[in-house]
A = this chain, B = another copy of it.
């Protein structure tokens, strides 16, 4: 960890501050949206000065992009692993692994689905950046898989994109709207990942 990185002169002192800022910014952006989140509130939650966050990232927009890169780095790693472990399996097994992985991601951190649905609702430069840099690949992979499943008869017919967004909507909404659901059913325990999975299975597969 303290080993010198060949030619790099930077001793990599406090990358921890960057990570704390990104974590706080993720929560703020996910709950209040881009304009609703303030850099001062993010800095306070991260325990640093507000100017430090502009020193590291340059602007609020650049901070948002850094948060998204960090977010989808983790997501793509998990999804790639799920697909790798079922490489030789059937299309249905690969799709199931993808679905289980996405549910697990949403269960661990509901902010992921929150932040994705915040930006997708109006055209903007941020949405364009997000789609081109992070969303396009996953959508393409999933839709290819769905189309192959439709060909071999294991997946329900219909627009692959609609099926893709439907399963994302079910898995994500159950967790991202947890505060609302908790107010509606205060005595009920948290929603279970297994129930969501069987629901999505019934929706996707024949």
Seen from chain A, the residues whose Cβ lies within 8 Å of a Cβ on chain B are: 30-36, 110, 114, 117-123, 127-128, 131, 135-136, 139, 156, 158-159, 161-163, 165-166, 168-170, 172-174, 176-177, 179-181, 183-185, 188, 191, 195-196, 198-199, 202-203
A163: B residues at CB distance < 8 A: 199
The dominant DSSP class at the A interface is helix
> Is the pair B121, A196 in contact by a Cβ cutoff of 8 Å?
no
Given A173-B165, A184-B131, decide whether A33 and B35 contact each other with a Cβ distance below 8 A: yes
A68 to chain B, nearest CB (A): 14
Checking B35, B139, B177 against A117 with a beta-carbon cut-off of 8 angstroms, the contacting residue is: B177
> Is the pair B199, A166 in contact by a Cβ cutoff of 8 Å?
yes
> Is the pair A131, B34 in contact by a Cβ cutoff of 8 Å?
no
> Is the pair A165, B139 in contact by a Cβ cutoff of 8 Å?
no
Closest to A114 in B: B121
In the bound complex, CA of A118 to CA of B118 (Å): 7
